[in-house]
Amino acid sequence: MTTKRYLMINIAQEACKNGYQDVLRDVITIPEVQSIEQLDGIFDLIVQVECPDTVGYAAAEDLLAKGWVKRLQVLQVEPAELSEIITPTVLELTRRA
């Protein structure tokens, strides 16, 4: 079974010289990486990884070893059943709005 995670990354200032190009080239070398997006806000990048449960946080550990990573936060995606999200109460609130 595979697990989807999002890695939110702050990049060290000295790695920002060429618009993150060296950083992006570095990130795509990690096999588990599915996508990379630049952010405007607290974090600089969000990286989507998908890997078997047995691998765990290997991609995050690989990124933490990079000298340009200032801070990294891992968000694990938990699949939700549609019935858990949409309840009669939520539907009623939607109709009233």
Q: How many domains does the chain have?
A: 1
Range of the domain at 44: 2-96
- Give the domain CATH number at 44: 3.30.70.920
DSSP-assigned beta bridge partners for residue 69:
11
d(CA 80, CA 67): 36
pLDDT tens column, 6-48: 999 999 888 877 778 889 999 999 988 999 999 988 899 999 9
**Arithmetic mean of pLDDT over the chain:** 80
Determine what percent of the chain is predicted with pLDDT higher than 90: 25
Q: Each residue of 43-57: b (16+ CB within 10 Å) or e?
A: bbbbbbbebeeeeeb
The confidence score (pLDDT) of residue 4 equals 85
The predicted model scores a pTM of 0.73
Q: Are 97 and 39 in contact (CB under 8 A)?
A: no
